[in-house]
Amino acid sequence: MAESFVDLHCHSTASDGTFSPTEVVRLAKECGLSALSLTDHDTIAGVAEAVVEAKLLGIDFLPGIEISAEYPHPGTMHILGYGVDPESGKLKKLTDTLIAGRDNRNPRIIAKLQQLNVAITMEEVENEAGGQVVGRPHIAAILHRKGYVSSIKEAFNKYLAQGAPAYFDKERLTPKQALEMIRQCGGLPVLAHALQLHTDNDGQLDRVVKDLVDLGLAGIEVFHSDHNPEWIAKCEKLAAKYKLLKTGGSDFHGTNKAHIHLGMARGHRVPRELFDQLKAACAAAARPPLVRP
């Protein structure tokens, strides 16, 4: 059989991507991908639409979500949740809470920008976002369009990134809560882009991953647009050591991260077998355990 490729990490307009869920699936088809997982931040609002288009185009699909967990500066810890049950009441409650955390943070960013003489309103930001999940890339896109910065990247560096003047943190789950919540919602938790943890050395990275494994981590993202061959090798090694599922994806955000292309993770394509193994593991996790008499 011909080689087949997938993308297990991408964002739509349901969070901070610029392509609708339908458009992301169409693009996946155009790129020749055979399977896709949509992993919007803090929401599965895009999943229903993506499922319909994926069926239509004959692309296999797995629902996903990406959640940010508490982690010391300057690192960030993102946990992907695969195979979460879109009907789960717990998931609805979880996403409502995460979105409330954003709604609490975003007006503070805007107030600070206004103090810095940037002409921007919450209303503009909400219009830019379109959906319920309003994130910093939406604010960055407005700053870019209005000419305050020459790129999205500069908007982060100058205003929005950790350490910049208009940075405000949002309420996050602890790693333990994030892993537990994903499992309670029928999903499998996977550590995203381990490079972004900004660990000082391999020993520290190992300890962080081991702690997550003890809390129920099921997989690690090996291929990602931030991962060079060295990071791919580190993550492969951790996957083997802790018997973790391996995943990979582009982290496509449309024009909010224009250098990232769907189906490509820093020059690597993601082999189909990673999707098949992940999907099988999600199905096994969702089955009720055998009850022995």
Residues forming contacts to Zn ion in the complex (CB under 5 A) are 11, 16
3-state class (DSSP) for residue 202? helix
Distance CA 79, CA 77 (A): 7
Rounded least distance, CB 226 to Zn ion, Å: 13
The residue count for binding ligand AMP (CB under 6 A) is: 9
Q: Which of 21, 64, 131, 137 touches ligand AMP (CB under 6 A)?
A: 137
Residue showing the smallest CB distance to ligand AMP in the complex: 135
Is the Cα dihedral 109, 42, 19, 255 positive or negative? positive
Residue showing the smallest CB distance to Fe ion in the complex: 78
For position 19 contacting ligand AMP by CB under 6 A, the verdict is no
3-state class (DSSP) for residue 174? coil
Nearer residue to ligand AMP within complex by CB, 213 or 264: 264
> Which of the ranges 150-158, 203-211, 234-242, 259-267 carries the binding residues for ligand AMP, by CB under 6 A?
150-158
Rounded least distance, CB 253 to Fe ion, Å: 7
Rounded least distance, CB 280 to ligand AMP, Å: 29
For position 153 contacting ligand AMP by CB under 6 A, the verdict is yes
- Tell me the backbone φ, ψ of residue 232, rounded to 5 degrees: -60, -45
Distance CA 174, CA 180 (A): 10
Rounded least distance, CB 84 to ligand AMP, Å: 18
Residue in the structure block whose two tokens are 């992940």: 278
Binding site for Fe ion (CB under 5 A): 66, 78, 192, 251
For position 156 contacting ligand AMP by CB under 6 A, the verdict is yes
For position 41 contacting ligand AMP by CB under 6 A, the verdict is yes
CA dihedral 52, 53, 57, 62 (to 10 degrees): -70
In the chain the beta strands, taken as DSSP E runs, fall at 5-7, 33-38, 60-69, 77-82, 188-191, 219-223, 245-248, 270-271
CB 262 within 8 Å of CB 31? yes
With CB under 5 to 8 Å by kind, the binding choice for 156 among ligand AMP, Fe ion, Zn ion, none is ligand AMP
Distance CA 287, CA 125 (A): 41
For position 249 contacting ligand AMP by CB under 6 A, the verdict is no
For position 161 contacting ligand AMP by CB under 6 A, the verdict is yes
Nearer residue to Zn ion within complex by CB, 210 or 266: 266
With CB under 5 to 8 Å by kind, the binding choice for 78 among ligand AMP, Zn ion, Fe ion, none is Fe ion
Rounded least distance, CB 191 to ligand AMP, Å: 15
What Å distances lie between residue 60 and 8, 52, 56, CA to CA?
A: 11, 11, 10
144: CB partners within 8 A, 6+ apart: 150, 151, 152, 154, 155
Site for ligand AMP, rule CB under 6 A:
16, 41, 135-137, 152-153, 156, 161
